[in-house]
Structure formats: C-alpha cells, structure tokens
Chain A
Amino acid sequence: MENEQLLEVQDLKTYFYTERGVVRAVDGVTFDVKRGRTLGVVGESGCGKSITSFSVLRLLQKPGKIVSGQILYHKREDDGNEEVLDLTSLNPNSYTMRSVRGGEISMIFQEPMTSLDPVYTVGNQIVEGITYHLKVSQAEAREMAIAMLGRVNMPEPQRVVDSYPHQLSGGMRQRAMIAMALACRPSLLIADEPTTALDVTTEAQILELLRDLQKEFGMAIMYITHNLGVVAEMVEEAIVMYMGKVVERAPVRDLFYDPKHPYMIALLQSIPKLGRKNQARLQAISGMVPSPFAIPAGCPFHPRCPKFMPGVCEMSEPPVVDLNSDRYVRCFLYQ
C-alpha cells in the first residue's frame, strides 16, 4: 500500500517554440509520486518546476508543447480496480482529461488573488468544481462547500461562502483555494509555491493546515517551492531542478545533510540560516541563471560550478548516476 505509484513522469520534454528560438523549459524530467506521499520540487525561477506541473495537468498554453515523454497516472476506481492513464496521449479538452483535472489531480497556486475569479463568490467557484465532478444537487454542493471551508479553518464559513475574493485577506484566499482544490477529494494535490506570497505567521498556519489535511484525506502532495526551509519541513523526498533538468533526487534528510550535486550544495550554503549569526559572508553562487535561449553546452551548471572539471563538464551532458535505490544525481563527479 505504502509504495504504490500514483504518478510516473518519464523523460518529459516540454518545449516552447517562440520567435526567438526554442526554449527547453522541461528537458527530460523523470520522477514519480507515490500514493499518499509528499514529493518536493526545488529550484529557482525559470528552472521549469511550474511548467512540469502545468504539463502534468495539460494546462500548457501555446507556444508550449509536450514534445516527448510519458505521464502515467494510476487512476483507482471505487471498486479498487486500477487504470493507468497516459496523460500525454489525451486531448487536453477531452472528457477524461477534464475529469482527471480537479477530480483526481488538483492544484493550488502561489497568488490566490490572480487564480480566483474576482466576479464570482468563493462559494460559486467551489460549487462549480463539485457539481462538475460529483453527482450532487446545487444545494448539496453548497453544503459541501461550506463544510469544506470549515475544514480548512476558515472563520465563519457560512458567511464567507457568499463573499467575493477581494473581501478576504491573503491567508483566507489561500484557504479558499485549498478548499476548492480538495472539495472533490483528489488523490494528488500539486501545490505551486502556495505560501510564497504570505507572511511568515500565515505561512505557518497554511503549512500546518496542509499537513493536517494530508493526514485526514491521504492525498499525495507534489510541493513546488524555492524555499529550502519549507522543503525541509514539508516533504519526504525531493527533486532538485536546474535549467529544465532534474539534477538530484533524494530523501529529504539525505538531501540536506549530505547533498551531492554541486548546485544543491551551493544553494544550501548560500542561504542565511536562522540562529547562526556570524559576520562571515554568505557563499554566493557566482554568475547567474543562464538565459533559456542560451543554455550552456554540457552540464548547464558548469559555468557557475565550483567543482567544474575543464574538458569534461562542458563537453557532454552528465549522466544520471544512481547512488542507491531512491537516490540519483546528474553529475560527472560521481561516475
């Protein structure tokens, strides 16, 4: 039961065909999410972590396109039978895809103000999803929406259900988003930087809520973030992305106590850590994230890498090195 696969992404490539050239936003990403577990996706802006989740939900806008790869979703029916869907082969507008989206996999976003519709009440927006996926009447759906709002610790759910998004604070909007996402009891929740726009005390509330809800509903969470503190607290396993590639995958303790990829090592050293005041300088990563139109040859991290090996790193792409069954790194150092 514990290690059942829920989502398997294999060698996913999502490219954007723009006038200036092809942007390889996601370039051969492989990972899996197990039922009821939490996977973290770590990386800086532009590394392709959000595009990966949009690809899974088939929400890519033009000129983005899934070029190759498979996204296998293990859909479990009520009678316990399992059906494996390859989401890449489905039409994004097909009935099956639409029933997966929101019913099986749902998503919460960073900025709840831009992802909630300002002209509909919170209740309307939650009810819309419920009536689409479940066979219930409007009145029942409304009751479910109120119950769900109560479950996410929204103050006065009876009143809030008829409120518009602008009447809520940032933290309350994020609670409304979570209520909407979980109303149909999805098996997988994709959380894309859900607390980045929130204050620390509100962030703490939302993280606590997500943990409680996961315990209660048993859904798997794919947690996308650049905040290493949040990763350390929320996830069991994580993949680290850089320029559209997964550079390391490891259980979270290994990732923080014994990081392997030079990028992950450098990231950990570059953040100021609470409770360790010293006047010493931070160890910054030199240079900057390269332009997506000019990804360096070989290992994309080589121009910034402190362990750069001339004649090796810039010549060819580093292979994926399996360190043990649940851990791999994409670097020549470990060959």
Chain B
Amino acid sequence: MTDNHQQPILEVKDLKKHYPIIKGFNRKLVGYTKAVDGVSFAVPTAHTLGLVGESGCGKSTTGHCIMRGIEPTAGQVIFHDRERGPIDVAQADPNMLRHVRLNMQMVFQDPSSSMNPRMTVFDIVSEPLTVNNVARGKDLQDRVAELLRVVGLLPEHMHRFPHAFSGGQRQRIAVARSLALRPQFIIADEPVSALDVSIQAQTLNLLQDLQEQFDLSYLFISHDLSVVEHVSDVVAVMYVGKLAEMAETEELYHNPKHPYTEALLSSVPNPDPGVVKNRIVLAGEVPSPRKPPTGCYFHPRCNYAVSDCAENAPPLREISPGHTVACHLADKLTLRGVTAVRI
C-alpha cells in the first residue's frame, strides 16, 4: 500500500453474522445461514474502501454489523477514534456505542424509504443534533442551514417535506443528515443505485468533495463496478459471505487474481460499441448462503476449477503486497482485467 494508506480508521477482523435456521413445530435448530462469514478488511483514513458483490453476498449485512444495526455473531470491529483511540465496536457498551455512532454514520440506497415522509427536511437533518444534545434553538437552525448549503441545497427549503424534492435532492438530504454530527467515517450503502445517470454523477462528486473538505473515510457498498472503481482507493470483492479478493483499485481492475473478479469485470456492459466482447458468461446462479457448495463457494461456476476446489475452501492469502485473494490457483492463472473504454 502507498504511504498515505497506513493508518486505518476502521479495521474489521473475522466478522461473522450467522442466522439460525429454525424448522418445525419444536423450533429445532437445523443449521445456520452464514450471511457474513469471516470478513476482514481495513478502511484507510480519509480514503474509500469499495465493497462490491452481487445481491445476497452479505455486503449490506457487513455494513450494518459495523454500525451494530445488526448484532454480529463474532469478530472485531475496531474503530480508531481521533480522540479516544481504538474502540472495539462489536464489544462496545451502550455509552461507548453512542459515542461511536456520533463519528460513524450511514447513507442508504433509497432516500425516500429512509426518511419519514411526515417530517420536514429541518426535522430530518436536525434530529441527530437534538437527539445527541449537540445544538438547539437558533444554533440548530444555523447548523441545519449550513449543512444544506454544504450538500448544495437551498436553506430556505428546509421547511418542506421530502416529497417536494427529486430523488437526487433527497439523497442530498440524507447525506446532510449523515454529516450533521461531523462524523469521521461514513458507510454509504448503494448511495447512487436508485438515481438517474445524470444525477448519479452529481452525488458522486458531492461525496468526493465532502471527503476532501472533512477528511472523511468511506465504506462504499455497491454492486456497480464502474462506480466503485471511480470512488474507491481499495476494493474488496465479496461472494456468498466471504471475501474473494481485495486490492488497490487499479491493481484489482487491471490485474485480477480471482476468477470471480475476472468474470464480474467482464460482465459489465461497456459503453463502447467498438470493443470486441469476449465476455465470460458464468453458468448458474449465486448459491444461497443457506446451502453453500463445498470447498470454494465459487467452484461450481468457475471455469478454472480443479478437483481440490470442491474439497478445500481456499484461505484468503496475500499474493503480492496489498493484494489478497482466496483462490487455490491464484499463482497459476493469468486472468484478464478490464479493457479501457475509448470514448
């Protein structure tokens, strides 16, 4: 990793979330759905870690476990607070958790369903401030106005309701709310997936500007590989609850080492009609984490699988500095990265 990545703001170590599967009248425990199964990564301070994967791979569950919106089953989530030093969020008591959540906020995919339609924009953005006794009265008014200005909305619109705003503006309101407590770290869960292309660019630029302005660190969860490439410094690829590969963005996109990453990259429709497509179309579908395949979870769909893949799960190992991959064949395979778009 480069120098400026040394100090992580958040370290996730062997995070697990297993949901019990209960069946029958006697409510017998028959197994576990391993939604997140031993995920480890570190988010560098003032940088962005992109977490990509297909639906159901556990990327959102990971985000919620970090916030303790969902209680993790096992593992550590170490938040390096600017003032208090490292805090294990997974073990934090309610008081500590309160402090952590002042510094760690979340932005969700669909801004209309993450806001109460009966609250005005002022109520929505000021709620974190009043709940935490940070500001009140005139000061509160000023701070909300300032927050709206920061995200590019007009402060005079603060007494309107969310329905009076477009999707892109609503996402700005959600960003303003998440910034209210001046957090150090933001988990953005598919923040632009519900937005139109022209609005997507505005929102991505806004997130980038805010990062520079406030030294924010992001965990950027998305299924859109081009968006993740654009915003992230480090990218982690998830498949059925586990990390398949993690590396710096350029390295991962141009020199993938996991066959799943290669297939994902080749699947993205390229806005260049002249590119010769030799796309890898994967057979079958993402397995359910209820009944994952044996060995490497990806082996039934993998074009390179050997007999060992069906038996032993490959551990995540470092193949070159800063590049980790969970594949038995990572040293042997020559995989294809992305071809740059010419337009």
Contact = CB atoms under 8 A, between A and B. Distances in A.
Interface string A28-66: 000000000000000011000000000000000000000
Nearest to B249: A277
Interface in B139-191: 166, 168-169
Contacts of A44: 196-198
A281 interface: yes
Contacts of B334: none
A272 B229 contact: yes
A166 to B, nearest CB: 15
Nearest to A235: B273
Nearest to B54: A199
A199 B200 CA distance: 19
Nearest to B55: A199
Given A275-B341, A288-B166, A288-B199, A171 B281 contact: no
A205 B281 contact: yes
Interface in B280-337: 281-282, 284-286, 337
Most buried by A among B227, B273, B279, B282: B273
B253 A274 contact: yes
Contacts of B199: 288
A289 B196 CA distance: 9
B340 interface: yes
A268 B343 contact: yes
A84 to B, nearest CB: 32
Contacts of B271: 228-229, 231-232, 256, 268, 271, 273
Contact of B269 (A202, A232, A252, A281): A232
A143 interface: no
Nearest to B277: A233
A111 interface: no
B275 to A, nearest CB: 8
Contact of B197 (A226, A257, A275): A226
B114 interface: no
A229 B268 contact: yes
Interface residues of B, number: 51
A275 B97 CA distance: 39
B250 A200 contact: no
B198 A274 contact: no
Interface string A182-205: 000000000000000001111111
Contacts of A272: 201, 204, 226-227, 229-230
Interface stretch (B35-43, B67-75, B259-267): B259-267
A270 interface: yes
Given A233-B273, A252-B273, A288 B169 contact: yes
Contacts of A257: 273-274, 343
Contacts of A45: 196
Interface in A146-185: 155, 169-172
A168 B44 CA distance: 40
Contacts of B338: 274-275
A201 B267 contact: yes
B196 A200 contact: no
A208 interface: yes
Given A233-B273, A257-B274, A288 B343 contact: no
B132 interface: no
A157 B208 CA distance: 48
B49 to A, nearest CB: 15
A229 B249 CA distance: 21
Most buried by B among A170, A253, A270, A277: A277
B201 A232 contact: no
A257 B341 CA distance: 11
B202 interface: yes
B156 to A, nearest CB: 18
Nearest to B341: A273
A106 B199 CA distance: 32
A285 interface: yes
Contact of B264 (A200, A208, A268): A200
Interface in A217-245: 226-233
A205 B280 CA distance: 9
Nearest to B205: A281
Most buried by A among B275, B279, B341: B341
13 contacts: A45-B196, A172-B285, A199-B55, A199-B286, A200-B54, A201-B263, A204-B279, A229-B271, A233-B277, A272-B227, A274-B338, A275-B340, A288-B169
Given A170-B55, A233-B270, 12 more contacts: A155-B284, A200-B264, A203-B269, A204-B267, A233-B269, A253-B273, A257-B343, A271-B200, A272-B227, A281-B205, A282-B230, A284-B201
